[in-house]
Amino acid sequence: MIKNNAASMISKIRDAANQVIVTELHKHGVDNIVPSHGDILTFLYQQDGLSVKELAHKIRRKQPTVTVLVDKLVKLGYVQRTKMEEDTRVTRVMLTEKGRQLEPVFREVSDKLNKTLYGGLDNTEQEQLEALLDRILRSF
Amino acid sequence: MIKNNAASMISKIRDAANQVIVTELHKHGVDNIVPSHGDILTFLYQQDGLSVKELAHKIRRKQPTVTVLVDKLVKLGYVQRTKMEEDTRVTRVMLTEKGRQLEPVFREVSDKLNKTLYGGLDNTEQEQLEALLDRILRSF
DNA sequence: TCTATATACATAGACATCTATGTATCATAG
DNA sequence: CTATGATACATAGATGTCTATGTATATAGA
């Protein structure tokens, strides 16, 4: 019997996942960070020196939002801004040593979250889940 | 092949769903309303006169957040506050006539959203989706 | 009855996020 | 080469959400 409550459940899972992220980071001594900050750092671990615009696209937030998020990461000492010499309009966001040191923490938090999300499902169900979510996402 | 991107996809779907809600409400001439306001009205359609505390629990927001959300709904003329006579600490939130007139709009928006979420899935897949989401939710 | 604790809501301040706009730099047409 | 439009980022103001705290009312114990 279909309950048509997927929207509600997805919203609840999103909130719960964000709370896991914040709580786990806190356990590792990382505070004053929201998931969006984590998203930025995670993309920088994959490719350091991304521009504000590129980061905005990747984390799906507007550019002014990213400017503010980066302000905070700078203040916390995790990243620094440098200008691109070919085009000084562009700001590269670069990890600091302190920022790089957080990489294993983010890996652990990510693993912990995925264990919660996927842990109760067998392989077939995990594939079903991803396939269904992917199809829903494409329907928007 | 599992991609471990359920968290990301769920977050994207949540954002997209919220955007559908805001956009559809706008098409029906309802503006300055966010999904949380809609959640409050939806619960009031089921049971009018809920208290601030009850609403906070139902929409999974903190009590001060609900106070502010209700402030706005009052300002927009959709609800009004009344005190409970048995316990004057308690504020009942009651729909106004203008608020009740929105009920069919919310029903349409909800239908539209569910069509987007469920429309590309057959019956079996819809049941799979809800079952998987439900199990994930319980694992938190 | 009077005082202490609990409860319900409101208020204040912080912060993430948005839209709108400003500022500086780049590219290009004349 | 200069002026005009485009682009990248920052700033300002609004709003939803949170935590911390205040205020008023209810309840319970002395």
With respect to residue B1, please indicate whether it lies within any of the assigned structural domains: no
pLDDT at A22: 96
B6 and A54 Cβ atoms separated by less than 8 Å: no
Provide the residue range defining the domain that includes A76: 6-138
With respect to residue A66, please indicate whether it lies within any of the assigned structural domains: yes
What mean pLDDT do residues A6-31 have? 96
Tell which of B23, B136, B138 to mutate to test the A interface (max A CBs under 10 Å). Answer: B136
Q: How many domains are there within chain B? A: 1
pLDDT digits (tens, 9 = 90+) for A66-114: 999 999 999 999 999 999 999 999 999 999 999 999 999 999 999 999 9
B10 and A10 Cβ atoms separated by less than 8 Å: yes
pLDDT at B3: 96
CATH number at residue A22: 1.10.10.10
Tell me the pTM: 0.93
Residue–nucleotide distance: A124 CA to D19 C1' (Å): 42
Chain B contact present for A84, CB below 8 A: no
What mean pLDDT do residues B128-137 have? 97
With respect to residue B113, please indicate whether it lies within any of the assigned structural domains: yes
pLDDT digits (tens, 9 = 90+) for B73-125: 999 999 999 999 999 999 999 999 999 999 999 999 999 999 999 999 999 99
* Neighbouring C-beta atoms of residue A14, cutoff 10 Å: 19
pLDDT digits (tens, 9 = 90+) for B42-82: 999 999 999 999 999 999 999 999 999 999 999 999 999 99
Rounded distance, CA A28 to CA A19, Å?
14
Rounded distance, CA B75 to CA A94, Å?
46
Residue indicated by tokens 């040191």: A101
pLDDT category, B5, cuts 50, 70, 90?
very high
With respect to residue A1, please indicate whether it lies within any of the assigned structural domains: no
Alpha helix positions (H), chain A: 6-27, 35-46, 52-59, 63-75, 97-100, 103-118, 123-138
Nucleotide nearest to B63 (CA to C1'): C9
Q: What is the mean pLDDT of chain A?
A: 96
Among B67, B133, B69, B21, CA closest to A133: B133
DSSP A78: S
Which residues have a Cβ under 8 Å from the Cβ of B56 and sit 6 or more positions away? B62, B63, B65, B66
A30 and A73 Cβ atoms separated by less than 8 Å: no
pLDDT at B52: 98
